[in-house]
C-alpha cells in the first residue's frame, strides 16, 4: 500500500517517451517517502500526483524531450533515415531479383481489378458537378408500399409540385417527365430520339449551355423543343437548325426553339432533346390515381439554403401523411441530394445512368478477393525468407536498431515493391479498361481516362496495399530476438508457419471456387442452348413486320420456293412475354401470359395439342377462342379434356377454350412455366415466322430483301434465324463466362506465383538435404514426392474446403439467374480438382525436379 | 548586466552552492523550504534548474544507483565558474545599492 501511485508514474513515463526521467522519478519517490513520515498515505499519494502534474507541464520535461528526439533512440523518422531505408530497400529488392519479380508481378495482377473499381468510383463521384446550384438541388424519391410489396422509386408524383411550392424554403420546383421516346420521320427511315419533357425553369436550376435561340421561350410554348448539337447533326446534318421542324412517326410536329451544347456525360440525366412541358398531354386520370402512379415523373427542388433540409424533410413527411390517408397505396417521400443520385441506393426507374451501391459493393468484394491473396503472397514469401534476412536484422539490432526502426525499414521495402507493382497494375489497367467498360450497362456515361482525382486515389491505394502486405512481415521482423537471429534459430515461429499454411489454403480455395464456377457456368450455358424448349427452333426465320400488313407479307413471301410454311404472331417465343388479367365465371381474376397467333403457328412450331383443336384456318376478325397450356388447366384443377368449352372473360370479351397445348417454354428459362394462352387477334401481329428449307441461306435472304422492298420500300428488312435469336437471349452467359474466366485467371496466377515463391525458397534451403538423400540412393521421383507432398496436402485441403462451399454458393445462385438450371455434379468437382491439382503440381514440380536432378557433388562440395 | 538572473534562480543557485556535493532535486527543494520558507513544486524547481543549465551556470552528472528511491539514480548539480560570477555580480549590485541607500542596518 505504501508505494507511490503506479498510474501516475506510468503516465509520466509514457508522456516523456524517449526522454530521460529516471532522476525525476527518483526525486518523486524520495519525496513520497519523506511525506509518508509526517502525513497520511492518501495525502502523500496526492502530493505525488501533484508532482507528476507539475512535471508534465514543466519547461524541464519539454526541454528533455526536445533533446531526446535528437538521440539514436528517437521516436520520429528523419528524412535522412527514410532515404537510407529507401536505399536499403532498393538494394535488397535488387539482390533478390527473382523473388522481387514474383512479388511485384503477383501484386500487379492483384491490384489491377481494384484499379478498375477505383477508376469507376472516382469518375462517378464527378457526376453532376457542372451545375452551379448543385449544393442546393435535391430530388424527391419515393418509398412506395402496396400491400406487402415495398419498393424505392427514383420518381415522384407531379401532383406534389403545388404542395412543394407552398414551402417557403423552396426556391424552385422542376417537374420532369422522361417518357419522350419517339421516332423522327426522315427520308432515310425512322430515327429514334430520347428526351425529357421539362418546365421552363429547368434551365434556371440546372446549368446547360445554350448556343442558339431563346431557351425559356422554347420551353414555354407547346410543340417546341431544345435540341442538343449531336442530335441536330444526327437528324439535320448541321447544328444550324433554329426554327426547323421535326416530323415524328406519330404525326406530331415539333419546332426547334433553341440549340444547346451536348451535356457532359458525367450526369445522371441523359437526353437528346428537351421538350416543352406544355407539349405533354394533360393527365387524364383521377387525382388519387395521380398520387399512386408516377412511373415517368420526376420532381427536383432548389432549396434556398442547405440547412433547411431537415425542415424540408419534415414537410415532405407531412405531405405524405396527409395525401395517402385514404389510399390503398402508401408513399413516403425523401429528399435526396444531387450528389447522392448517381452513386446511391438501388432505386426503380432511375431517370438516367445510375451506379447502384449494391453492384459497387459486389464489385468491391470481388476486387478484395483478388487483391488480398496477392498481399498474402507477399506476406508469405517474406516470412518464409525470414531465415535469410534474420542475420541482417540480428546485426542491425545488435548495433542499436530498435523495433520500430526495423519495422519501418520493412514497411518501406514493401511500399517500394508495391509501387513497382503499381506500375505493372497500371499497364494491366490500360489493357483491360475498354473491355471492362463494355461490360457495364451505363458504359456510355463513363470516361475512365486518368484524372487528378483518379491518380490521387491510385497512389493512396498503392500506399495502402503496401502497408497491408508489409504489416505482418514488418511486425515479425521487428520482434525478432537478435541472439536467436544471429544463431540462425529465427525459424522457430510455429505460429508463422501455420499462418502461412492457412493463407495458402485460402488462396487455393478461392482459385478452386473460380474454376468450379467457370466449369458450372459453361455447363449452364451449354445446357441452355441445348435445352428442349418443347417447340421446334430449327429452320425458322423471324421477320419483323414493322407495321406492314400481315396478309400482304404472307402473300408476297409465300411465293418464294424456299418458304414452306408461314405463321404470324405478336412476339418471339422464348424471349419475352406479356401478361393480361382474366376472369373465370366465378369472377376470380388471375394473371396469365398471352400471345397472339394465327392458325399456322402451332403446327409450324411443332407444339402438341393434348385435347381439342387448333384455331380455325381463316381467323375471324372478332376474337372467339383461346388455346390454353397444360399449366393453365392444372392450376385450375380440372382434367385436360374437361377444360374444352370453358369460357373466360378477357378484356371485356368472352373467349372460349378450344384446345389445350402441351407445356412449352414460352418465356426465357429464367422464368418458370406459368399459366399461358394463345389468342387470335390479327391486329396484334408484329412478326412473321417462315419455315424455310434451303442450303443457301445467303441467297434466301437476298430473295427476302427483294420481296420486302415491294412491300415496304422505306424500311429495311429485319429478319434472322429463330435459333440465333434464341441463343442470343443466353449471351449474357458469355459475358459471365468472360468475367469469371478473367477473374479465375487472375486468382490462379496469383496462387501459382505464391506457390512458386514458396517452393523456390524451400528447395533452396533443402539443397544439402537433397544432396545427402541422393547420395544414399533416393531416386528423382522419390525426391520429387518428398519435396512436394507438403504442397499436395495444402491443395487437397483447399479442395476439401472449396468444393462444398462453392457448390453450395452455386446451388444458391444458379436458380436465381435461371429457373431451369443445371446442378453441380461430382464430375464438375473432379474436373476442377484436376485442373487445380494439375496446375499446382506443375508449378511445384518445375522447381523440385530441378533440385532433384542436381548433382549432389556440386551441392555438397562447399563447407 | 549580461544575463538576467531571476530571484528564484539566484536562490536555487546559492542553495546548490551551499549544499556542495549533495545538491540534487529533493535536497535542493527541502533546503529551499527549510531555509527560505519557499514551498516550490518539483516541476517548477526542475524547470528553473534547466534554465540555469542552459545559461551555463550549472553542470550536472548522474550519480550511481541508490537504495532509498527505488534504485533510481540521482542527478547532482554543481555551480560553474560562470555561475559563481553571476551570483557575485548580483551580490555586488546589491551591496552597491545598500551602501548608497539611506537604510541603516540597525536591525542586528
**Residue A74 predicted with pLDDT over 60:** no
C-alpha to C-alpha distance for B103 and A122, rounded to whole angstroms: 84
Q: Which of B43, B44, B71, B77 to mutate to test the interface with A (most CBs of A within 10 A)?
A: B43
Instruction: With both helix axes pointing from N to C terminus, report the angle between A780-817 and A732-765 in degrees, rounded to the nearest 10.
Output: 160
**Residue A15 predicted with pLDDT over 50:** yes
B73 and A58 in contact by Cβ < 8 A? no
B69 and A56 in contact by Cβ < 8 A? no
Percent of chain B with pLDDT over 70: 93
Of how many residues is chain B composed? 108
CA distance, residue B88 to nearest chain A CA (Å): 26
Give the CATH number of the domain where residue B53 resides: 1.10.10.10
In a domain? residue B102: no
In a domain? residue B61: yes
- Name the grid cell of A639: 382434367
* DSSP per residue, A466-505: HHHHHHHHHHHHHT--HHHHHTT-GGG-HHHHHHHHHHHH
DSSP character for B21? G
Q: Which residue has the higher pLDDT, B81 or A670?
A: B81
Of how many residues is chain A composed? 863
In a domain? residue B29: yes
List, for residues A558-598, the tens digit of each pLDDT value.
Answer: 888 888 888 888 888 888 777 777 887 777 778 888 888 88
In a domain? residue B2: no
CA distance, residue A509 to nearest chain B CA (Å): 57
Q: How confident is the model at residue A434 (pLDDT cuts 50, 70, 90)?
A: confident
Number of domains in chain B: 1
**Residue A73 predicted with pLDDT over 60:** no
Helix, strand or coil, per DSSP, at residue A851: helix
C-alpha to C-alpha distance for A269 and A137, rounded to whole angstroms: 14
C-alpha to C-alpha distance for A81 and A470, rounded to whole angstroms: 19
Interface of A with B (CB under 8 A): 22-31, 33-34, 50-51, 53-61, 63-64
Mean pLDDT over the full length of chain A = 85
List, for residues A395-411, the tens digit of each pLDDT value.
Answer: 888 887 778 888 888 89
- Domain housing B53: 7-95
**Residue A76 predicted with pLDDT over 70:** no
Nearest by CB to residue A27, choosing from B42, B54, B62, is B42
- Name the grid cell of A685: 401481329
Indicate the range of A26-40, A469-483, B28-42 predicted with least confidence: A469-483
Nearest by CB to residue A29, choosing from B24, B30, B72, is B72
What's the sign of the alpha-carbon dihedral A665, A668, A674, A675? negative
B50 and A63 in contact by Cβ < 8 A? yes
C-alpha to C-alpha distance for A863 and A855, rounded to whole angstroms: 16
Percent of chain A with pLDDT over 70: 96
CA distance, residue B70 to nearest chain A CA (Å): 7
**Residue A494 predicted with pLDDT over 60:** no
CB A36 within 8 A of CB A44: yes
C-alpha to C-alpha distance for A719 and A589, rounded to whole angstroms: 38
What is the pLDDT averaged over residues A370-384? 85
| Secondary structure of A336-378 as H, E, C letters | EEHHHCCCCCCCECCCCCCCCHHHHHHHHHHHHHHHHHHHHHH
CA distance, residue B32 to nearest chain A CA (Å): 14
**Residue B58 predicted with pLDDT over 70:** yes
C-alpha to C-alpha distance for A93 and A74, rounded to whole angstroms: 27
Q: What phi and psi values does residue A51 have, to the nearest 5 degrees?
A: -60, -45
B43 and A23 in contact by Cβ < 8 A? no
**Residue B47 predicted with pLDDT over 50:** yes
Q: Which residues of A21-56 are buried (b: 16+ CB within 10 A; e: fewer)?
A: bbbbbbbbbbbbbbbbeeeeeeebbebbbebbebbe
Nearest by CB to residue B73, choosing from A23, A59, A63, is A23
What is the pLDDT averaged over residues A725-749? 85
C-alpha to C-alpha distance for A380 and A21, rounded to whole angstroms: 42
Q: Which residues in chain A are closer than 8 Å to B76, comparing Cβ atoms?
A: none
* C-alpha pair distances (Å), A98 with each of A63, A308, A423, A788: 49, 62, 18, 21
B25 and A54 in contact by Cβ < 8 A? no
Write down the pLDDT at residue A488: 64
Nearest by CB to residue B73, choosing from A26, A34, A64, is A26
Domain extents for chain A? Answer: 6-68, 77-127+355-492, 134-340, 540-726
Q: Kindly state the helix (H) or strand (E) to which residue A319 belongs, with its residue range.
A: helix A309-323
- Name the grid cell of A41: 498515505
What is the pLDDT averaged over residues A134-148? 87
**Across-strand partners of A427?**
none
**Residue B105 predicted with pLDDT over 70:** no
A31 and B74 in contact by Cβ < 8 A? no
Write down the pLDDT at residue A387: 67
How do the residues of chain A divide into helix, strand and coil, expressed in percent and rounded to 5?
Answer: 55, 15, 30
Write down the pLDDT at residue A104: 92
C-alpha to C-alpha distance for A38 and B36, rounded to whole angstroms: 20
Nearest to A421 by CA among A373, A465, A368: A465
Nearest by CB to residue B69, choosing from A30, A50, A55, is A30
- Name the grid cell of A77: 523518422
End-to-end CA distance of chain A: 62
CB of B64 within 8 Å of any CB in chain A?
no
**Residue A251 predicted with pLDDT over 50:** yes
**Residue B1 predicted with pLDDT over 50:** no
| Secondary structure of A261-273 as H, E, C letters | CCCCCCCCCCCCE
Which residue of chain A comes nearest to B71, CA vs CA?
A: A26
What is the pLDDT averaged over residues A629-646? 84
Pairing of strands A578-583, A625-629: unpaired
C-alpha to C-alpha distance for B20 and B11, rounded to whole angstroms: 14
Give the residue carrying C-alpha cell 405524405.
A320
A51 and B51 in contact by Cβ < 8 A? no
CA distance, residue B90 to nearest chain A CA (Å): 24
List, for residues A614-627, the tens digit of each pLDDT value.
Answer: 887 665 567 788 89
**Residue A285 predicted with pLDDT over 80:** no
Q: How confident is the model at residue B76 (pLDDT cuts 50, 70, 90)?
A: very high
Q: Which residues of A661-684 are buried (b: 16+ CB within 10 A; e: fewer)?
A: bebbbbbbbbeebbbbbbbbbbeb
Helix, strand or coil, per DSSP, at residue A794: helix
CB of B65 within 8 Å of any CB in chain A?
no
B68 and A30 in contact by Cβ < 8 A? yes
Nearest by CB to residue A58, choosing from B47, B66, B68, is B47
In a domain? residue B107: no
What is the pLDDT averaged over residues A126-152? 87
Write down the pLDDT at residue A236: 87
Q: Which residues of A799-834 are buried (b: 16+ CB within 10 A; e: fewer)?
A: bebbbeebbeebeeebeeebebbbebeeebbebbbe
Longest dimension (CA), chain A: 126
* C-alpha pair distances (Å), A133 with each of A102, A219, A299, A592: 51, 20, 16, 49
CB A210 within 8 A of CB A226: yes
List, for residues A322-357, the tens digit of each pLDDT value.
Answer: 888 888 888 899 999 888 888 888 888 888 888 888
Which residue of chain A comes nearest to B75, CA vs CA?
A: A23
Q: Which residues in chain A are closer than 8 Å to B6, comparing Cβ atoms?
A: none
Which residue of chain B comes nearest to A4, CA vs CA?
A: B70
Pairing of strands A253-260, A245-247: antiparallel
B42 and A63 in contact by Cβ < 8 A? no
Write down the pLDDT at residue B108: 46
Which residue of chain B comes nearest to A27, CA vs CA?
A: B26
What's the sign of the alpha-carbon dihedral A430, A432, A438, A439? negative
- Name the grid cell of A633: 388447366
List, for residues A816-831, the tens digit of each pLDDT value.
Answer: 888 888 888 889 999 9
- Name the grid cell of A657: 377454350
What is the pLDDT averaged over residues A302-312? 80
Nearest by CB to residue B43, choosing from A23, A34, A57, is A57
Q: Which residues in chain B are closer than 8 Å to A57, comparing Cβ atoms?
A: 43
Pairing of strands A137-146, A329-337: antiparallel
For the sheet with A719-721, list strands across it: A563-569, A687-692, A540-544, A719-721
- Name the grid cell of A201: 425553369
Helix, strand or coil, per DSSP, at residue A404: helix
Amino acid at each position: 500500500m505504501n508505494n507511490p501511485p503506479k498510474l501516475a508514474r506510468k503516465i509520466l513515463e509514457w508522456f516523456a517517451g524517449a526522454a530521460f526521467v529516471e532522476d525525476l522519478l527518483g526525486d518523486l519517490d524520495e519525496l513520497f517517502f519523506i511525506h509518508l513520515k509526517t502525513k497520511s498515505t492518501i495525502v502523500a499519494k496526492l502530493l505525488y500526483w501533484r508532482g507528476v502534474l507539475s512535471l508534465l507541464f514543466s519547461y524541464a520535461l519539454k526541454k528533455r524531450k526536445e533533446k531526446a528526439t535528437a538521440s539514436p533512440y528517437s521516436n520520429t523518422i528523419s528524412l535522412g533515415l527514410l532515404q537510407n531505408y529507401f536505399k536499403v530497400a532498393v538494394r535488397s529488392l535488387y539482390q533478390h531479383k527473382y523473388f522481387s519479380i514474383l512479388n511485384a508481378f503477383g501484386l500487379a495482377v492483384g491490384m489491377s481489378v481494384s484499379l478498375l473499381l477505383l477508376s469507376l468510383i472516382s469518375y462517378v463521384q464527378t457526376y453532376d458537378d457542372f451545375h452551379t446550384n448543385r449544393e442546393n438541388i435535391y430530388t424527391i424519391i419515393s418509398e412506395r408500399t402496396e400491400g406487402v410489396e415495398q419498393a424505392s422509386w427514383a420518381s415522384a408524383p407531379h401532383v406534389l409540385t403545388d404542395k412543394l411550392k407552398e414551402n417557403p424554403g423552396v426556391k424552385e420546383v422542376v417537374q420532369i417527365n422522361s417518357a419522350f421516346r419517339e421516332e423522327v420521320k426522315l427520308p432515310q427511315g425512322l430515327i429514334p430520339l430520347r428526351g425529357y419533357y421539362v418546365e421552363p425553369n429547368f434551365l434556371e436550376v440546372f446549368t446547360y449551355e445554350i448556343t442558339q435561340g431563346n431557351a425559356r421561350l422554347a420551353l414555354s410554348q407547346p410543340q417546341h423543343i431544345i435540341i442538343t448539337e449531336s442530335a441536330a447533326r444526327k437528324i439535320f446534318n448541321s447544328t444550324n437548325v433554329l426554327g426547323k421542324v421535326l416530323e415524328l412517326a406519330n404525326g406530331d410536329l415539333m419546332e426547334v426553339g433553341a440549340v444547346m451544347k451536348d451535356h457532359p456525360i458525367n450526369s445522371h440525366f441523359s437526353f437528346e432533346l428537351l421538350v416543352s412541358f406544355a407539349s405533354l398531354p394533360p393527365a387524364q386520370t383521377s387525382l388519387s390515381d395521380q398520387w399512386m402512379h408516377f412511373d415517368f415523373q420526376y420532381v427536383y427542388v432548389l432549396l434556398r439554403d442547405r440547412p433547411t433540409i431537415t425542415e424540408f424533410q419534415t414537410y415532405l413527411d407531412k405531405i405524405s401523411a396527409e395525401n395517402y390517408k385514404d389510399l390503398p397505396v402508401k408513399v413516403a417521400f425523401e429528399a435526396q441530394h444531387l450528389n447522392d443520385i448517381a452513386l446511391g441506393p438501388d432505386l426503380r426507374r432511375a431517370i438516367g445512368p445510375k451506379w447502384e451501391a449494391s453492384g459497387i459493393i459486389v464489385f468491391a468484394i470481388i476486387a478484395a478477393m483478388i487483391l488480398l491473396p496477392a498481399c498474402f503472397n507477399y506476406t508469405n514469401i517474406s516470412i518464409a525468407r525470414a531465415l535469410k534476412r534474420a542475420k541482417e536484422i540480428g546485426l542491425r539490432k545488435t548495433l542499436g536498431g530498435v523495433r520500430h526502426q526495423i519495422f519501418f525499414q520493412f514497411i518501406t521495402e514493401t511500399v517500394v515493391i508495391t509501387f513497382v507493382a503499381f506500375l505493372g497494375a497500371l499497364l494491366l489497367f490500360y489493357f483491360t479498361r475498354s473491355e471492362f467498360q463494355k461490360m457495364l450497362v451505363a458504359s456510355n456515361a463513363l470516361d475512365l481516362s486518368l484524372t487528378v482525382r483518379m491518380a490521387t486515389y491510385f497512389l493512396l491505394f498503392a500506399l495502402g496495399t503496401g502497408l497491408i502486405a508489409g504489416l505482418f512481415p514488418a511486425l515479425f521482423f521487428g520482434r525478432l530476438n537478435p541472439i536467436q537471429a544471429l544463431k540462425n534459430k529465427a525459424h522457430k515461429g510455429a505460429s508463422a508457419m501455420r499462418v502461412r499454411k492457412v493463407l495458402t489454403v485460402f488462396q487455393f480455395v478461392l482459385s478452386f471456387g473460380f474454376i468450379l464456377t467457370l466449369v458450372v457456368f459453361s455447363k449452364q450455358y451449354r445446357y441452355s442452348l441445348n435445352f428442349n424448349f418443347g417447340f421446334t427452333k430449327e429452320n425458322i426465320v423471324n421477320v419483323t413486320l414493322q407495321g406492314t400488313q400481315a396478309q400482304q407479307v404472307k402473300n408476297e413471301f409465300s411465293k418464294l420456293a424456299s418458304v414452306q410454311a408461314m405463321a404470324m404472331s405478336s412476339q418471339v417465343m422464348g424471349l419475352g412475354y406479356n401478361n393480361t388479367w382474366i376472369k373465370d365465371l366465378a369472377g376470380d381474376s388471375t394473371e396469365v401470359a398471352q400471345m397472339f397467333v394465327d392458325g399456322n403457328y402451332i403446327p409450324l412450331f411443332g407444339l402438341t395439342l393434348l385435347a381439342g383443336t387448333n384455331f380455325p384456318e381463316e381467323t375471324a376478325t372478332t376474337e372467339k377462342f383461346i388455346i390454353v397450356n397444360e399449366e393453365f388447366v392444372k392450376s385450375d384443377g380440372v382434367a385436360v379434356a374437361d377444360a374444352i368449352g370453358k369460357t373466360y372473360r378477357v378484356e371485356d370479351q368472352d373467349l372460349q377454350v378450344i384446345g389445350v397445348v402441351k407445356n412449352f417454354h414460352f418465356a426465357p428459362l429464367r422464368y418458370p412455366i406459368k399459366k399461358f394462352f394463345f389468342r387470335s387477334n390479327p391486329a396484334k401481329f408484329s412478326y412473321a415466322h417462315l419455315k424455310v428449307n434451303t442450303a443457301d441461306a445467303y441467297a434466301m435472304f437476298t430473295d427476302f430483301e427483294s420481296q420486302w422492298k415491294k412491300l415496304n420500300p422505306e424500311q429495311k428488312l429485319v429478319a434472322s434465324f429463330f435459333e440465333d435469336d434464341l441463343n442470343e437471349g443466353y449471351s449474357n452467359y458469355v459475358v459471365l463466362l468472360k468475367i469469371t474466366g478473367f477473374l479465375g485467371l487472375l486468382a490462379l496466377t496469383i496462387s501459382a506465383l505464391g506457390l512458386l515463391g514458396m517452393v523456390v525458397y524451400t528447395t533452396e534451403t533443402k539443397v544439402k538435404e537433397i544432396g545427402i538423400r541422393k547420395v544414399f540412393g533416393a531416386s528423382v521421383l522419390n525426391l520429387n514426392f518428398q519435396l512436394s507432398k507438403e504442397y499436395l496436402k495444402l491443395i487437397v485441403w483447399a479442395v476439401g474446403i472449396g468444393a462444398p462451399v462453392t457448390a453450395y454458393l452455386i446451388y444458391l445462385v444458379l436458380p436465381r439467374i435461371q429457373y431451369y438450371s443445371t446442378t453441380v455434379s461430382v464430375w464438375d468437382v473432379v474436373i476442377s480438382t484436376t485442373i487445380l491439382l494439375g496446375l499446382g503440381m506443375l508449378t511445384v514440380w518445375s522447381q523440385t525436379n530441378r533440385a532433384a536432378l542436381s548433382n549432389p557433388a556440386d551441392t555438397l562440395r562447399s563447407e | 548586466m549580461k544575463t538576467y538572473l531571476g530571484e528564484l534562480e539566484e536562490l536555487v543557485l546559492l542553495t546548490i552552492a551551499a549544499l556542495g556535493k549533495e545538491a540534487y532535486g529533493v535536497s535542493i527543494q527541502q533546503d529551499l523550504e527549510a531555509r527560505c520558507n519557499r514551498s516550490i513544486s518539483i516541476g517548477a524547481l526542475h524547470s528553473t534548474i534547466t534554465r540555469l543549465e542552459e545559461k551555463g551556470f550549472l553542470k550536472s552528472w548522474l550519480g550511481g544507483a541508490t537504495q532509498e528511491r527505488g534504485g533510481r539514480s540521482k542527478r547532482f548539480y554543481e555551480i560553474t565558474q560562470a555561475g559563481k560570477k553571476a551570483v557575485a555580480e548580483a551580490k555586488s549590485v546589491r551591496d552597491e545599492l545598500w551602501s548608497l541607500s539611506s537604510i541603516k542596518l540597525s536591525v542586528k
